[in-house]
Structure 1
Amino acid sequence: MQTAQRKSLIMLRWMMVASLALPVALFLVAAYVSYGSTCEEADRDIRRSLDVVHEHAEKVFETIDRSLSEIDEIVRDLSDAEIKAREQALHGRLRQLSDTLPQMKSAWVFDVQGRPLVSSMIYPAPDMIFADRDYFSAHVTTNAGSFVGAALTPRPPDHGAAFFSVSRRRQSADGRFTGVIQASVLPDYFEHFYARIGRAPGSYFALRRFDGLVLARFPAAQRSAGPPPNDVPAAAADTEQLVTETSPIDGLERRVGYQRLAGFPVYVSAGLETATIRDRWLGTMGRHLIFGIPATALLVVFLAMARRRTERFYIEAARRLEAEDALRHGQRMEALGQLTGGVAHDFNNLLTVIRASADLLRRANLPEERRLRYIDAISDTVARASKLTSQLLAFARRQTLKPEVFDISRSVVTLRDMVKTLVGSRIEIVTSVPDEPCYVNADAGQFETALINMAVNARDAMAGQGQLVISVTAAPDLPTPAAPQERPPLGYVALAVQDTGIGIPQQQFSRIFEPFFTTKTIGQGTGLGLSQVFGFAKQSGGEIGVTSELGKGTTFTLYLPRVAPAEQPRGDAGGHAVPIGGRGMAVLVVEDNIDVGRSATEALAELGYLTTLVDNARDALEELIDGGSRFDVVFTDVVMPGMTGLELAEEIRRLELNIPIVLASGYSHVLAQQGTNGFELLRKPYSIEELSRVLHKVVPVPLHRAPPVAPSSEMR
């Protein structure tokens, strides 16, 4: 007890440690999982934003591309002189086109030297040369398609907004370069759009060329007169995965995704600052900590209080245990005295009968009729003693059962007349069995004994007058359901024995299955009947239940696991037939009790058997190995010093000596737990008739040996 108390206090200490360590560990795991979830959610937000800005940029560039196509269609068949001649009208058309597109600042048409022929912004077009601009020089030597230029600022004296160009090459029918058509696009248009959709903290958007030059950006970078900034390498546009990068423009680390624009040498990007993602994660974990820290603190406080109270409880329990030990010792002695007294009383009665019969048999000139009567009395008393031992072992669940598959309904019908004789004519017996068979795998003899014990118990409760109802039903489960892995597939068969007797007081329910507990007067019962039923039910994998109401009767219900029908029906036992002669059958008898061994060999010798007696398993193995062909069967006791009879049988089987084996035992915990492993078993005490029949059962082939001159028995 003190060890258990120390263990419980140690466990409480560890629980206090765990109350801190476990929440910390759970918090770390939750933090790790939450960080991953936060990053995944941020990636989803970035991809959604990227889809939005990609669709927006694609529509803007497609609109500008259509505008350039329209301008090209207007001036395609006009020479430079015709364009200058019609400059005013063309200026109006270009201005109308640029005014309808908020993203377009102006539209221009240049000649082969880079002089503007017409402009949507200025009429007349300024006399300047723009051949140094990238949107013009890109088309001089080759057809660059829809060229996207770098972000530029207007040349003095113009001080308008910054822009980047989208231009196309003008060429004659034979492919000669004749000039450029150019549209100036406002970066502010993109940046204002990005500002509207990028309201979340840390949002980032950009429009870039393939070489990484920034065309538009949010948050906007400060523009300078120097070369345009490179935010990331051009190769970043080739990846479909989100990447974590640090911008050289503002030095901030971001999680960024990229998408190309179909047909144009630009791509868009969207992202979130990693600091913003961390802030989201920290905010989530902070909300957990608001509840987690107080809860953990309360748990630690409660455990500390529980530990202090437990220590006080153990101190008080130790004082109580000192007082209870004396009472418990007295109860144990009372129970032991009751059990010992009951066994001694019953066995003394049986031994008295045997002793008296044996003394009477010694008298001279005893008539044959009286001699046979005394012999029958001894035999019947031995049978009663064997039954008493069987009931004790059944209660202790240590008997060796011989299970077989049989129909409970058929057994109840067969035993009805016997039960009627036992309970008397003033008790009405009503039986109820189902139409379909109810098979169980149990010891049929023990089952019949259990039924008779319950019927006799009911008779005594009714004082020999009333109604006894015996019913058989199928039950899917026990009154207290078993675990799923322990429940038999077909359920249970319930045998209920109901009487109309006086009933059982509630305070006696816990004792009715105790051995030798009885409410009857001395001499009217041993108190082992219900104990046998209880032990038989438990050892057979079943249960015994009882319900009772004072003045209205009692119902005992025996539950046994239900099984499928056996292929071979059980046959009738021939235990009361005459003994079978040996006809020269050679038997090796292995028995450590010399008196028991000699009585068996002498009885077998009287029947014509050839017997050899050894008192241990090792000598038996030597006899079999040296001349195993001399013996037809081995008859061995189970409980012996050193090697047991069951181990001897297993060794004979392992050596493949090919000789039948019969086991004999009055009690063996090994047999009760493991069974006989397929060997034939004869229970002690046995009669010579039973012994001869079981020997012939395992050696069924008739032996053609010359009968011996005289019965022989030798002791080795």
Structure 2
Amino acid sequence: MSSAHAAVPQPVGAPFPACPTCCEKLTHSPATAHCPIERNLFHRSSPGRQGQMRRIYNRNNIAADVPLMSNGTHPDPADVRVLNENARSSHFRSTRYVIRAALAAAIIFPLLYLVASSWQDWKDRLVSATDATERSTRIAQEHAIKILDIDTALIQRVLDAVGDADDASIRSREPAFHSLLQRLGGGYPQVLAISIFGRDGSLLASSRFFPSPAVTIADRPDFQDALSRPQEMRISGPMRGKVKNLRTFNVSRARTDTRGHFLGMVSIAMQPEYFEGFYRDLLGEDGLMNIGLLRADGAILAWHPPLKRPAAAVAPGTPFANAISRATPSGIVIMQSTVDGERKILAFRRVGAYDAYVSSGYPVSAVRSAWLMRTGAISAATLIPSCALWYFLLFSLRRLKREESAWQKLAEEALLRQQLESNQQEVQRREMLGSLVGVVAHDFNNLMAAISSHAQAGLASQSISRLHDALRGVESAVLAGQGLTHRLLAVAGKQPLRAQAATLVQWLRNPRLVDTALGDAITLRLQIDDNLWPVYVDLSELEVALLNLAINARDAMPSGGVVTLSASNTRARNVAALNREDADYVRITVSDTGHGMTQETARRAFDPFFTTKPVGKGSGLGLSQVRAFCERMGGFVSLETSLTTGTSVCLCLPRSNEPEESADEHKGRASIMARERLHLLLVEDDALVAEAQQAMLESMGHCVEWKPDAIQALRRLKEEHDFNAVLSDVQMPGGMSGIDLFETLKAEQPHLPIILITGFAEDVKRLEAIGVTAFLKPVRADALNNHLSRVTHG
């Protein structure tokens, strides 16, 4: 047993201590004593930590330090145990409640879903059936109107041809009238025959027969109707022809002289089969629906599909019969059909101004059958998994009871272990936070001191040259602060990258910043292969990473030495110290001949804020930035060190298959375009930042107008203006951000460039991901001016 956990020895002959919970004298040593009340625990104050922590021992003599209460007293372990047991009991109780609630929900919600979905499906099917009947009825109506209009035109032509001729005159010219009638009706499939009847109902001429047979229709209802109401177009009921006994119905109109005296009747015998064939084609394969043509009194003229028990008319007293008796133009009813005996959704429409209706019916039983089939399938698909879920939840309840018993036995050990881990994590967290606060505060205090000193020197200066020197010093300090924030963001993985495919041969052979950072006392050797593969990399971040390695190498060789910068192609399996999948990489290695690291230091070398340098000599972010950069590029970094031979840091960057670009061309690409005076709109909610940015832009020769939020800026841009570009912050109050302003202007004024500026690195990454140009504060004047020149020149 370690000394940290060892029981405190008692002097020979000294009485055993009392339990602080029950104040009973213990009869065994503290290492084996059991509290008469607690039974499992003996607890006492830990020597050397009185007033801060209390150490608790369990039955196995394992100790845990419990912090003091806020009032400085020791927490009673009995209270700790009661609280722990209450928490466990509450946990199991809440879990049991959740499982029971889930069981109830697993029963109620599927049933509610079945009821709701079944009801909605029933309504949808009724609507669908209603739509189908109404659609079919409308088409049948249009068809019937067209046919009856043709019949009306044919009858009128016959009437015009016959004129006021009497029966004898017509009989004498029967061949001519037969030819005329045959010519008029022969081109229409719905026409069975066109006939001219005399005053007494005898057949005078027909398109179907010549010579006309000796038949009379004086007793037919349609002839009687024509005799009594000679001015109306009449549609007869269903009948059989006098000669051929064929199914037919007639469309007829009386012949009258100029004084209105009845001279006879012109009749067109229609073929019901024509209408039934059209209805059959209209319904297609759907054998559920029916369509019928009916007279206004309910007599059935044509019907599809054919009736098993033919009916002459719709029975009176039904909703449909009542509707057509009132001359209702159209409607939908659900009724028990007296024609075929089924309950149907029935749609009907009047055929124009004619004495006829068309109707279409959909059986409710067919809707119900389809609904029951789908409801059954949904019920099976829902209830079978639900039954499995019910069984699982019931099983979980039984298992929870067993687990509760097991947890009661393990609770004490879990409490002690959790307390120890919590204490260790708190110490580590405070250590890390202390390192972070100390390093950042120290570096920024130095930067603030530099800025303050240069500012005071500039204020006290009497010469322009010294003032410029002071301002350059302020700018250098600001850039150094920006570099520090960039390194912090890079370590956190939030620094935006601008990666590209590039070949590094010439770029690595001219490492000016690395050479400068090493100084004159250190020799830089280059070993760069000529055939390096292209890599996908952010060259600026790579340069910072190499600079960090160069500075570390320089600090490791205060008396001088040799730094070797090498680059070659490799496969991941050739790097023995790394566990990576096989892939092509470009390996960049920076090696020095200085003092290496111990194994303990090497293990922590890449931890943020870890440094072995004296205070003020390093931030502990260099190697952590290198690792973060490599990992964000899809690569990795390794370190080899020895106290005698020095340190080598290897950066492995993945090979790129994209079109490559020479890195030395990248360095020299940016060119400063010629300045011109631009009219700019600046949108910034922080007045101090806006004042500084306006001063910087005006120092470039531009004219700047400032608005404190996006709403005011948009209102100004809707007025007449001559702005060349808009510079806007991203995060602003007022309900409209810079991104909202960008989207609005792109839609309304797409020709006007807009540049977004933000203080959040994450905003830059998100904006660049959607193709929006954004600058991270603070913005360098030359970079902003160059970008303004590019966007305003197209």
Contact persistence 1:637–1:645 (CA under 8 A): yes
CA 1:690 to 1:674, structure 2 compared with 1: closer, same or farther past 3 Å?
A: closer
Give the distance between the partners of 1:307 and 1:547, measured in 2 at CA. 51
Give the distance between the partners of 2:407 and 2:587, measured in 1 at CA. 46
Give the distance between the partners of 2:408 and 2:640, measured in 1 at CA. 42
Greater RCO, CA 8 A, separation 6+: 1
Q: 1:384 aligned to 2:476?
A: no
> Could you say which residue in structure 2 is the equivalent of 1:250?
none
Give the distance between the partners of 1:531 and 1:644, measured in 2 at CA. 34
State the 1:480 CA deviation: 4.8
- 1:350-369 alignment, distance < 5 Å: 350-363=447-460, 366-369=462-465
Q: 1:330 aligned to 2:427?
A: yes
Q: 1:607 aligned to 2:703?
A: no
User: Could you list the per-position Cα deviations for residues 256-305 of structure 1 after superposition, in whole angstroms to 9, with x for gaps in the alignment?
Assistant: xxxxxxxxxxxxxxxxxxxxxxxxxxxxxxxxxxxxxxxxxxxxxxxx99
Contact persistence 2:443–2:616 (CA under 8 A): no
> Could you say which residue in structure 2 is the equivalent of 1:435?
530
Larger Rg: 1
State the 1:577 CA deviation: 8.3
Contact persistence 2:761–2:776 (CA under 8 A): no
> Could you say which residue in structure 2 is the equivalent of 1:231?
none
CA 1:341 to 1:544, structure 2 compared with 1: closer, same or farther past 3 Å?
A: same
SS at match of 1:469: strand
Contact persistence 1:577–1:689 (CA under 8 A): no
Give the distance between the partners of 1:434 and 1:308, measured in 2 at CA. 68
Contact persistence 1:580–1:607 (CA under 8 A): no
User: Could you list the per-position Cα deviations for residues 359-406 of structure 1 after superposition, in whole angstroms to 9, with x for gaps in the alignment?
Assistant: 122226x13332222122111111111111111111111112222332
State the 1:350 CA deviation: 1.0
Contact persistence 2:502–2:660 (CA under 8 A): no
CA 1:353 to 1:576, structure 2 compared with 1: closer, same or farther past 3 Å?
A: farther
State the 1:651 CA deviation: 4.2
Contact persistence 1:537–1:560 (CA under 8 A): yes
Contact persistence 1:590–1:620 (CA under 8 A): yes
* TM-score normalised to structure 1 length: 0.50
Code of the residue aligned with 2:540 in structure 1: it is G
SS at match of 2:432: helix
Code of the residue aligned with 2:657 in structure 1: it is A
> Could you say which residue in structure 2 is the equivalent of 1:409?
505
Contact persistence 1:639–1:668 (CA under 8 A): no
Range with bigger deviation, 687-696 or 564-573: 564-573
Of the three residues 398, 405, 410, the one matched with 2:494 is 398
State the 1:441 CA deviation: 2.5
Give the distance between the partners of 1:672 and 1:687, measured in 2 at CA. 19
Give the distance between the partners of 1:441 and 1:592, measured in 2 at CA. 38
Code of the residue aligned with 2:755 in structure 1: it is V
Contact persistence 1:588–1:611 (CA under 8 A): yes
> Could you say which residue in structure 2 is the equivalent of 1:502?
595
User: Could you list the per-position Cα deviations for residues 227-277 of structure 1 after superposition, in whole angstroms to 9, with x for gaps in the alignment?
Assistant: xxxxxxxxxxxxxxxxxxxxxxxxxxxxxxxxxxxxxxxxxxxxxxxxxxx
State the 1:352 CA deviation: 0.7
> Could you say which residue in structure 2 is the equivalent of 1:515?
608
> Could you say which residue in structure 1 is the equivalent of 2:518?
423
SS at match of 1:362: helix
Give the distance between the partners of 2:405 and 2:536, measured in 1 at CA. 54
> Could you say which residue in structure 2 is the equivalent of 1:662?
755
User: Could you list the per-position Cα deviations for residues 323-359 of structure 1 after superposition, in whole angstroms to 9, with x for gaps in the alignment?
Assistant: 3323322321221111111111111111111111111
Give the distance between the partners of 2:644 and 2:407, measured in 1 at CA. 47
Structural RMSD (CA): 3.7
CA 1:608 to 1:520, structure 2 compared with 1: closer, same or farther past 3 Å?
A: closer
> Could you say which residue in structure 1 is the equivalent of 2:251?
none
CA 1:556 to 1:321, structure 2 compared with 1: closer, same or farther past 3 Å?
A: same
> Could you say which residue in structure 1 is the equivalent of 2:654?
561
State the 1:674 CA deviation: 6.3
Give the distance between the partners of 1:525 and 1:536, measured in 2 at CA. 19
CA 1:547 to 1:607, structure 2 compared with 1: closer, same or farther past 3 Å?
A: closer
Give the distance between the partners of 2:482 and 2:547, measured in 1 at CA. 17
State the 1:599 CA deviation: 1.9
Q: 1:588 aligned to 2:588?
A: no
- 1:291-330 alignment, distance < 5 Å: 315-330=412-427
State the 1:491 CA deviation: 3.2
Code of the residue aligned with 1:630 in structure 2: it is D
Code of the residue aligned with 2:549 in structure 1: it is M
Contact persistence 1:423–1:459 (CA under 8 A): yes
SS at match of 1:525: coil
State the 1:647 CA deviation: 4.5
CA 1:311 to 1:653, structure 2 compared with 1: closer, same or farther past 3 Å?
A: farther
SS at match of 2:549: helix
> Could you say which residue in structure 1 is the equivalent of 2:783?
690
Give the distance between the partners of 2:559 and 2:619, measured in 1 at CA. 18
State the 1:548 CA deviation: 2.2
Contact persistence 1:338–1:516 (CA under 8 A): yes
Contact persistence 2:570–2:585 (CA under 8 A): yes
Q: 1:346 aligned to 2:433?
A: no
Give the distance between the partners of 1:307 and 1:472, measured in 2 at CA. 61
CA 1:675 to 1:384, structure 2 compared with 1: closer, same or farther past 3 Å?
A: same
State the 1:453 CA deviation: 0.6
Give the distance between the partners of 1:557 and 1:647, measured in 2 at CA. 44
State the 1:685 CA deviation: 1.6
Give the distance between the partners of 2:622 and 2:682, measured in 1 at CA. 35
State the 1:676 CA deviation: 4.6
Q: 1:637 aligned to 2:729?
A: yes
Code of the residue aligned with 2:546 in structure 1: it is L
> Could you say which residue in structure 2 is the equivalent of 1:301?
none
CA 1:603 to 1:593, structure 2 compared with 1: closer, same or farther past 3 Å?
A: same
Give the distance between the partners of 1:609 and 1:377, measured in 2 at CA. 25
Give the distance between the partners of 1:6 and 1:519, measured in 2 at CA. 47
Give the distance between the partners of 1:458 and 1:305, measured in 2 at CA. 61
SS at match of 2:460: coil
Contact persistence 2:533–2:655 (CA under 8 A): yes
Give the distance between the partners of 2:493 and 2:515, measured in 1 at CA. 29
Give the distance between the partners of 2:633 and 2:742, measured in 1 at CA. 25
Give the distance between the partners of 2:409 and 2:533, measured in 1 at CA. 57
Code of the residue aligned with 2:456 in structure 1: it is D
CA 1:372 to 1:670, structure 2 compared with 1: closer, same or farther past 3 Å?
A: closer
Contact persistence 1:587–1:609 (CA under 8 A): yes
Give the distance between the partners of 2:91 and 2:555, measured in 1 at CA. 52
Code of the residue aligned with 2:526 in structure 1: it is T
Of the three residues 449, 455, 462, the one matched with 2:557 is 462
> Could you say which residue in structure 2 is the equivalent of 1:134?
none
Give the distance between the partners of 1:419 and 1:409, measured in 2 at CA. 15
CA 1:575 to 1:602, structure 2 compared with 1: closer, same or farther past 3 Å?
A: farther
Give the distance between the partners of 2:489 and 2:744, measured in 1 at CA. 28
- 1:434-453 alignment, distance < 5 Å: 434-453=529-548
Code of the residue aligned with 2:706 in structure 1: it is L
* TM-score normalised to structure 2 length: 0.45
Give the distance between the partners of 1:468 and 1:362, measured in 2 at CA. 44
CA 1:574 to 1:492, structure 2 compared with 1: closer, same or farther past 3 Å?
A: closer
CA 1:677 to 1:471, structure 2 compared with 1: closer, same or farther past 3 Å?
A: same
Aligned residues: 400
Of the three residues 537, 543, 565, the one matched with 2:636 is 543
> Could you say which residue in structure 2 is the equivalent of 1:101?
none
CA 1:575 to 1:408, structure 2 compared with 1: closer, same or farther past 3 Å?
A: closer
Give the distance between the partners of 1:643 and 1:538, measured in 2 at CA. 36
State the 1:700 CA deviation: 1.9
